[in-house]
Amino acid sequence: MCELGFFVNNGNTTYNPHLDICNKEIKVTGSWTYQAKDWVHSMEFLKEANDRGLPVKDLLTDKFPLEKINDAMHTNMAMTGLKIVIKP
């Protein structure tokens, strides 16, 4: 699991480290902010997930052209999308 730049507090969660992480052999990476080199790890993660047949493309819920960046930000702040892309 890779979580980059999660910028809002969605509250607490409960998990069992043994069953939810260790038993499933999940690697967990989190970052409030990141450096350019961190994107390499993220892209490797997404490639591996895609290669394993996980529906990575389904994570992209909304795409906006650059001129609609304000609409993209409103969608993001309303928390109605999962992953929003601004495409030039």
pLDDT digits (tens, 9 = 90+) for 73-87: 899 888 888 888 888
pLDDT at residue number 68: 94
pLDDT at residue number 51: 93
Q: Is the dihedral of CA 26, 84, 42, 10 positive or negative?
A: negative
Torsions phi, psi for 55 (to 5 deg) = -80, 70
Distance of CA 60 to the CA centre of its chain: 9
Residues 23 and 46 in one domain: yes
Global confidence as pTM: 0.47
Residues 16 and 31 in one domain: yes
CB 68 within 8 A of CB 88: no
pLDDT in tens, 3-27: 666 666 777 878 888 998 899 888 8
Q: Which domain holds residue 83?
A: 56-88
CB-count exposure of residue 75 (10 Å: 0-12, 13-18, 19+): middle
- Number of domains, the chain: 2
Residues 10 and 25 in one domain: yes
